Amino acid sequence: MKIDKSIAGSFVLLVLMASLYRIMPGRPLGFAPQIAMALFSGSVIANKKFSFLMPLASMLISDIIYQLLFVLKLSPIQGFYEGQLVNYLLFVAITVIGFGINKNKWTHIFAGSLVGVLFFFLASNFMVWIGGGLGLNGQPYPRTLEGLDSCIIAGLPFLKGSLYATLFFSTVFFGAYYLLQKYLSAKPAKA
């Protein structure tokens, strides 16, 4: 598909909307579009260098907004924090997972969504555990199998929200892309 100004503008709008949705107060734990966006951009954007731009830009914009709200004492959530680079690297890896998704096969999209969510959940919880992250009791997780188990169990509410969000937003992103492709292919070419 040829990228014109309206499609590029749509991608920019998508990044901004996803960024704003991520910081929306009261959204369910883990229910955000960024994993689906990373999978989508990895699958759909032909220039693989640019495919990393959408999810990373969305994360960065929302982190900047979070930080501004935190500084203004309007949110308890910091936008910039220790270990943040790990999350960005995990989204790079999820975008690479998207490279293997055939954008025209719903089974690929569904399987890729499951793999992306499970990868992020397991890798991010492992990094919290190994990095001495704090448990629900405010103490670091012990670096034992029981500590890892506790860390993973504490993250289960995020897994559920992330799975639902990724399936929902993957359906929206890939479905809209499919409809756009159909529309553009049915449109008569200009002479």
Top-confidence residue, 43 or 10: 43
> Whole-angstrom Cα distance, residue 20 to residue 37?
14
Percent of the chain whose predicted confidence (pLDDT) is above 70: 91
Q: Are the C-beta atoms of 42 and 97 separated by less than 8 Å?
A: yes
Q: What does the pLDDT read at residue 148?
A: 93
Q: Are the C-beta atoms of 65 and 54 separated by less than 8 Å?
A: no
Tokens describing residue 161 = 């929200």
Instruction: Bin 102: left if φ > 0, else alpha if -120 < ψ < 50, else beta.
Output: beta
Give 140's strand partners: 134
- For 3-26, what is each residue's pLDDT tens digit? 556 566 666 777 777 777 777 777
Q: Report pTM.
A: 0.87
Query: What confidence tier does 1 reach under pLDDT thresholds 50, 70, 90?
Result: very low
Q: Which of 1-5, 66-70, 83-87 has the lowest mean pLDDT?
A: 1-5
| Nearest residue to 27 via CA among 40, 18, 36 | 18
- For 110-154, what is each residue's pLDDT tens digit? 999 999 999 999 999 999 898 888 776 778 888 999 999 999 999
Top-confidence residue, 3 or 28: 28
Q: What does the pLDDT read at residue 132?
A: 81
